[in-house]
Amino acid sequence: MSMGLLIALVHHPVLSRSGDVVTTAITSLDIHDVARSARTYGVERTYMVTPIAQQRALVEHVFSHWLDNPVHADHPRTEALRRGHAVTSVEDVLEDLASVTGAPPYLVATSAKRGEGDMPYAELREKLETRDGHALLLFGTGWGLAHDLVARADAKLAPISGEDDYNHLSVRAAVAVVLDRLRGN
C-alpha cells in the first residue's frame, strides 16, 4: 500500500514581491527540469497550471516537439515529458484527478516560508508509504503560492533549509530536493 504522487507547478494564483496575487509566465526550463525530476521519483502526472491560453500553447508546443517527433522517441526527456499536462487551474487538476483516480488527492503545499504546523518530510514520507490514494504536491512560482491556495491544502510541508535563513531555491531545485526527501533511496 502506498500513495501515488502528483505535482502541480502553479503559475496562478501566486504572489508578487509586494504580496499581490498575480500570474507568472511559464519558464521553459521548468517544464523540462520539473518533468525530469518527477519521472526520476515516479511522479505519475506533472501539471503545468496557467490560466493563459497562449502559455498553455507554449507548454503543448514543447510537449509536441518531443512527443510527436520520431527522432526524439527514445530520448530520456521524451519519457519525462510524457507525464506532463498543461491545465488552466488547480481546480482543473483536482477534477482531472477525481476522474482518473476516483477520489480527491491529499493536497500538500510547499513554500520557502516557515509556518505554524508545517509538516515534517518524514511525516509525509510515512503517509506516502503507508496509505492508499494520491498526494498532489503544489509548487509555486514568483514569490510563492497565494495564501488562499496554501490555506486550502491538507498540509504544508516544512521549508527546505540549509546553513542559515537563506533558502530561496529555484522551484526546479525545490522540486528535486522535496522529491528526494519523499521518495529518494
Q: How far is the CB of 95 from ligand SAM (least distance, A)?
A: 22
Told to check if 140 binds ligand SAM by CB under 6 A, we report yes
Q: How far is the CB of 129 from ligand SAM (least distance, A)?
A: 21
Helix residue ranges per DSSP H, 102-159: 121-130, 147-152
Told to check if 22 binds ligand SAM by CB under 6 A, we report no
Minimum CB distance to ligand SAM smaller for 14 or for 66: 14
- What x/- string results for residues 143 through 162 when contact with ligand SAM is judged by CB under 6 A? xxx-------------xx--
- What x/- string results for residues 56 through 95 when contact with ligand SAM is judged by CB under 6 A? ----------------------------------------
Which one of 113, 114, 131, 152 is in contact with ligand SAM (CB under 6 A)?
A: 113
Told to check if 139 binds ligand SAM by CB under 6 A, we report yes
| SS3 label, residue 6 | strand
| SS3 label, residue 51 | coil
Which one of 110, 134, 156, 179 is in contact with ligand SAM (CB under 6 A)?
A: 110
Measured CA to CA, the distance from residue 92 to residue 109 in angstroms comes to 17
Q: How far is the CB of 72 from ligand SAM (least distance, A)?
A: 28
Measured CA to CA, the distance from residue 47 to residue 34 in angstroms comes to 10
Q: How far is the CB of 176 from ligand SAM (least distance, A)?
A: 11
Which one of 169, 180, 181, 183 is in contact with ligand SAM (CB under 6 A)?
A: 169
Binding interface with ligand SAM (CB under 6 A): 110-113, 139-141, 143-145, 159-160, 167-171, 174
